[in-house]
Chain A
Amino acid sequence: MSAFVFTPENEEKFAALLQRYPQKSSLTLPSLWMVQYQEGFISEDAIVFLAKKLETTPMNIYSVASFYTMFNLKPVGKYHIQICKTLSCMLRGSQEIKKHIENRLGIKAGENTKDMKFTLTEVECLGSCGSAPCMSLNEAYKENLTIEKIDAILDSLA
């Protein structure tokens, strides 16, 4: 029993992508992305649905989904802040930025706010070393961060 189904748009996208790869299994990552954009995270129902669609087992889909950091296997907040913690960002003060966000939101990295408005995650190198420190807010990069910039961003979301 699977309660999850693709929207008609995603069904269409899936069919179009099928023409672009020599084998169906290549659609695993693109399909997981479609699920995540549709539902916000990848539910067990969706995994069962994808397994059927890609002619494999749910465990196989789960194994792939759990390997890649960006696939959320649990719901995340409306605003997902992912702050880079790797060396170039650390050298330019990412730790202070992280602490400031934690204090403002009242959560630690890896947690959601109770109202599920915010999720704060520490991530590895975002490839923004020349404009460090950097974070990604719902997939949009915010670079050259300062405490003032963070305040302005969080104020605009309040």
Chain B
Amino acid sequence: MTTNIKKTDINLVEAPPGHQGEGFFATSIEKVIGLARANSLWPLPFATSCCGIEFMATMGSNYDLARFGSERMSFSPRQADVLLVAGTIAKKLGPVLKQVYLQMAEPRWVIAIGACASSGGIFDTYSVLQGIDKVIPVDVYVPGCPPRPEQIIDGIMKVQELAKNEPLRRRNSPEYQALLTSYGIQ
């Protein structure tokens, strides 16, 4: 199996722990699904300002987010796995952001990129949403104003870890339902 693959510059994902013998490999389905999810996260960029520019650099050839399995930007929320909110969200945009989140299918993750998406940033004012976690649940916060592409990649890798280790029943658990209910999401 893996021993037959020629050594190249291409790194393959390690197989999850399991039992291996002649002609078979046994592991838990949870680990296999986690592996598949973590290495093919389709991002949905919700970029409103300078953090969005940093995210574009992250997608470009220098930083190349495609190396982490996020090759394809999904501009339809229905096919997206991870929502990347990069930039200031005005209060008037809050319901739009929530609508986009609602349109995503489970399992879905959210990254708040930058100070504004995380907490409102320098815009402590009546017209700006003080962090997107006021309207949708957030999995990973990336600090910075704006954060460098390395930090955004680190945030994506954190979501990969979450996806890899998430129990299959988590999205049906009463804790998760309670979290959604606290945001008014059924």
The answer on A and B forming one complex is: no
Interface residues of B (CB under 8 A from A): none
